[in-house]
C-alpha cells in the first residue's frame, strides 16, 4: 500500500481513506475505514467514464446486481454512489495479498492450496452465475488470499463499462489479456463460460507460477489464447485435467462452475479451507498484515488534512507480460499493480513543413532542471474530472483499441488498460525523435545556419490561456496555459501547463524547432517532476496565429492530439 499523495482525497463518501492499494485502467483503489471502524476497499472510477451517461446507467445497474452477490468467497459490495461527480464503490476488505502478489513473491502454490483456491472460486462463480451475472475479469490480481479462504473481488465496475458509448466507439473488450476467453477477444457473446476459462488460466498460474499463455507481445499473446493450446508445465493429475477442460476453446466444452467445485472439493471448499489451506510463509504474511491493518490510521499515511482531487497513474508501456497486474492486498506490501497501455493505433496526419521554416538541430531535447509544480496530467486510462458544473477527462489518452484480426489479435483490459498495436509503425508518435528537415536556404524567407539572437517573432511572445479539447473536439481536456519567450533554434522557448478538469496539472518544456511568421514548431517534453500520469515522450507541437489568438495543436496520439485556442493573458 502507498501513502496518499497531497493531490489525493482523504475521504470518499463516508469513508476516511488510509492509503492507496493500487490503480488501473478503471480507476484507483483506496483502503478506507467507515465511521463504525470497518475496513473497506474504495474504488474510484476514472473520470473518463463519468462523462459517459451510458456508463453511469450500467454502473448503477451492475452495482445493484453486485449487492446481491453473497457467499463465503466473494467480497461484498457495501456501498456505492453512481451519481457522484466521480462514481465510486466500496467493498469489504480482508487482509491478504492478491494471488498475483503471492506468486510473484513466493512462487507457485502447493497442490492442496490450488485445489482449495479452485473450489472456492468455482463456488463463487456458481453463485454469481445463478444471479444472471458474469464477472468478466477473473484474474490473479482480482483474487485475494485470506486465512479464511480465497476472495473474488472487483464486481460492479468492469461489467459496467461493457457496451458504453465511450468504449464501443473504440472497440474495447473487457478483460485481461492472457486471462480473457477466446470469445471475449474475438468480440463474441460472453456467458458464464468465459469466467470458467479465466478461472482455468488463474489456476494454471497459481499451480505453475506462469501464465498458461505467455507472450512477449500483445498480438502474440492474444493469438495464442485463440489459436494455441495452453502451456501447463509441471501441472499433472486431476487438476491438470480440470484446468485443460476449463481452457477449452469452445465455451460449450468447458465444465460448469458447480461441477468444477464438486470435483475439486467433493465435501465443499470450506472443508478444504478449515484445516489450513495456505503454506506457512503466506500464513505468517497474512497474519502480520492483519495486525498492521488494525493499527493503521489515517495519521500513518502522511496525507494532508484537506481532501483533494483523485490523481491517476500513467499506464506503463506494453511488453510487460507474464505475471498479471497486481492490486496489493495488504498494508506494507510493495505495490505491484501496473497499468499497461500502448501507443495509439493511428499515426498522426502528416503536415507539410513550410518552405520558409527554420530548422533546429535534431538532438535538441530540453533538459529539465527547473522545479515543477505537483504534476497531474492524467493517463487516459483517463484522468480528468469535474470542477463544479463541469465534466471531462485529462490530457493524456490511452485510448483503448482492440482489434480482432485473423492471425493477429489485440485487446484491452480494463482492470488495467491495454492498448495493443498490430502493425509495424502503428500507434507511434511519428514526430518524436524524427529527423528535422535541413535549414531553409537564404532567400526562402527563413534563417540560415545557427542564428544569433531570437528566431521567435514578437507575435508569439507572452502568456496565453484557453480551453483544450482532444479527439477532434470530442473530449474536454481542461485548460492549457502557454508561455512563449524569445529563443534561438534548439533552445527552450517556453512552457505549457495543462490543467485537467480535476485541477491536476502537467508541465511541459518546449524547445524551438522552427520559427516563421505563420507557425512555430516546437518539441514538447514533460518535466521529470511530473506525475506518473503525464506523457513522458517527446512530441511535436504546432502553434499558429489565429486572429488575435494562437492555435495550439499537439501531434501526440497518446494524448488524443489535443488542440486549444489560446488568448493572450500576459506579456
Known catalytic residues?
137
In the three-class reduction of DSSP (H, G, I as helix; E, B as strand; rest coil), residue 267 is classed as: coil
Angle between the N-to-C axes of helices 237-246 and 257-264, in degrees from 0 to 180, rounded to the nearest 10: 170
Cα 498 to Cα 258, 397, 476, 495, 522: the distances in Å are 52, 13, 12, 10, 16
43 belongs to an annotated ligand binding site: yes
SS3 content of the chain, % helix, strand, coil (to 5): 25, 20, 55
Query: Is the CB of residue 234 less than 8 Å from the CB of residue 211?
Result: no
Q: What would you report as the CA-atom Rg of the chain, rounded to the nearest whole angstrom?
A: 25
- Give the Cα separation of 66 and 437 in Å (integer): 58
Bridge partners (DSSP) listed for residue 479 = 467, 499
Helix/strand/coil (H, E, C) string of 444-489? CCCCCCCCCCCCCCHHHCEEEEEEEEECCCCEEEEEEEEEECCCCC
Task: For residue 65, give every residue at least 6 positions away whose Cβ sits within 8 Å of its Cβ, in sequence order, or none.
Answer: 131, 132, 133, 156
DSSP-derived secondary structure for 14-63: TEEEEEEEEE-SSEEEEEEE-TT--EEEEEEE-HHHHT-HHHHHHHHHHH
- Give the Cα separation of 168 and 344 in Å (integer): 16
Query: Is the CB of residue 66 less than 8 Å from the CB of residue 154?
Result: no
How far is residue 115 CA from its own chain's centroid?
A: 32
- Give the Cα separation of 243 and 378 in Å (integer): 39
Cα 95 to Cα 149, 161, 283, 287, 289: the distances in Å are 11, 28, 11, 8, 6
Calculate ∠ Cα 41-13-287, nearest 5°.
Answer: 25
Q: How close are the terminal C-alpha atoms of the chain, in Å? A: 45
Calculate ∠ Cα 86-92-97, nearest 5°.
Answer: 105
Give which of 196, 266, 212, 258 is closest to 238, Cα–Cα.
266
- Give the Cα separation of 266 and 444 in Å (integer): 84
Give which of 101, 68, 75 is closest to 90, Cα–Cα.
75
| Residues flagged as binding site for ATP | 43
Amino acid at each position: 500500500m502507498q501513502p496518499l499523495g497531497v493531490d489525493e482525497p482523504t475521504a470518499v463518501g463516508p469513508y476516511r481513506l488510509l492509503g492507496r492499494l493500487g490503480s488501473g485502467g478503471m480507476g484507483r483503489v483506496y483502503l478506507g475505514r467507515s465511521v463504525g471502524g470497518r475496513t473497506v476497499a474504495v474504488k474510484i472510477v476514472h473520470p473518463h467514464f463519468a462523462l459517459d451517461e451510458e456508463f453511469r446507467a450500467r454502473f448503477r445497474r451492475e452495482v445493484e446486481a453486485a449487492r446481491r452477490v453473497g457467499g463465503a468467497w466473494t467480497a461484498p459490495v457495501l456501498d456505492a454512489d453512481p451519481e457522484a461527480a466521480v462514481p465510486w464503490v466500496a467493498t469489504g476488505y480482508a487482509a491478504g495479498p492478491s494471488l498475483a502478489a503471492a506468486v510473484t513473491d513466493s512462487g507457485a502454490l502447493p497442490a492442496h492450496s490450488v485445489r482449495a483456491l479452485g473450489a472456492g472460486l468455482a463456488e463463487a462463480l456458481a453463485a454469481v452465475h445463478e444471479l444472471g451475472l458474469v464477472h468478466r475479469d477473473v484474474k490473479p490480481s482480482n483474487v485475494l488470499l485470506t486465512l479464511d479462504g480465497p476472495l473474488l473481488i472487483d464486481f460492479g465496475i468492469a461489467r459496467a463499462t461493457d457496451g458504453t458509448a465511450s468504449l464501443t466507439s473504440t472497440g474495447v473488450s473487457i478483460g485481461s489479456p492472457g486471462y480473457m476467453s477466446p470469445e471475449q477477444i474475438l468480440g463474441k457473446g460472453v456467458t458464464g463460460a468465459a469466467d470458467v476459462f479465466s478461472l482455468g488460466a488463474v489456476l494454471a498460474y497459481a499451480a505453475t507460477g506462469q501464465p498458461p499463455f505467455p507472450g512477449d507481445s500483445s498480438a502474440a499473446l492474444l493469438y495464442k489464447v485463440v489459436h494455441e493450446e495452453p502451456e501447463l508445465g509441471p501441472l499433472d493429475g486431476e487438476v491438470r485435467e480440470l484446468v485443460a477442460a476449463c481452457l477449452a476453446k469452445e465455451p460449450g466444452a468447458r465444465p460448469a462452475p458447480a461441477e468444477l467445485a464438486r470435483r475439486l472439493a467433493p465435501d465443499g471448499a470450506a472443508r478444504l479451507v478449515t484445516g489450513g489451506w495456505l503454506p506457512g510463509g503466506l500464513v505468517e504474511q497474512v497474519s502480520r498484515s492483519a495486525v498492521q491493518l488494525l493499527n493503521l490510521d489515517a495519521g500513518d499515511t502522511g496525507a494532508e488534512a484537506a481532501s483533494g482531487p483523485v490523481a491517476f497513474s500513467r499506464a506503463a508501456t506494453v511488453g510487460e507480460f507474464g505475471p498479471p497486474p497486481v492490486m496489493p492486498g495488504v498494508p506494507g506490501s510493495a505495490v505491484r499493480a501496473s497499468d499497461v497501455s500502448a501507443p495509439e493505433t493511428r499515426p498522426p496526419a502528416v503536415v507539410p513543413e513550410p518552405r520558409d521554416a527554420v530548422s533546429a538541430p535534431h538532438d535538441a531535447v530540453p533538459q529539465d532542471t527547473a522545479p515543477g509544480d505537483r504534476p497531474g496530467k492524467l493517463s487516459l486510462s483517463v484522468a480528468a474530472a469535474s470542477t463544479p458544473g463541469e465534466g471531462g477527462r485529462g490530457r493524456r489518452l490511452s485510448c483503448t483499441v482492440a482489434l480482432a484480426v485473423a492471425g493477429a489479435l489485440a485487446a484491452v483490459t480494463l482492470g488495467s488498460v491495454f492498448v495493443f498495436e498490430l502493425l509495424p509503425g502503428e500507434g507511434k508518435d511519428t514526430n518524436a525523435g524524427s529527423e528535422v528537415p535541413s535549414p531553409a536556404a537564404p532567400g526562402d524567407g527563413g534563417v540560415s545556419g545557427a542564428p544569433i539572437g531570437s528566431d521567435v517573432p514578437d507575435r508569439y511572445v507572452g502568456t496565453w490561456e484557453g480551453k483544450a479539447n482532444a479527439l477532434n473536439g470530442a473530449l474536454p481536456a481542461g485548460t492549457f496555459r502557454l508561455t512563449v519567450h524569445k529563443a534561438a533554434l534548439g533552445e527552450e522557448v517556453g512552457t505549457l501547463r495543462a490543467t485537467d478538469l480535476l485541477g491536476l496539472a502537467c508541465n511541459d518544456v518546449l524547445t524551438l524547432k522552427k520559427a516563421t511568421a505563420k507557425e512555430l514548431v516546437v518539441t514538447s517534453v514533460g518535466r521529470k517532476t511530473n506525475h506518473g500520469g503525464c506523457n513522458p515522450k517527446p512530441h511535436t507541437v504546432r502553434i499558429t496565429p489565429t486572429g488575435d489568438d494562437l492555435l495550439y495543436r499537439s501531434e501526440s496520439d497518446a494524448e488524443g492530439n489535443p488542440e486549444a485556442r489560446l488568448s493572450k493573458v500576459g506579456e
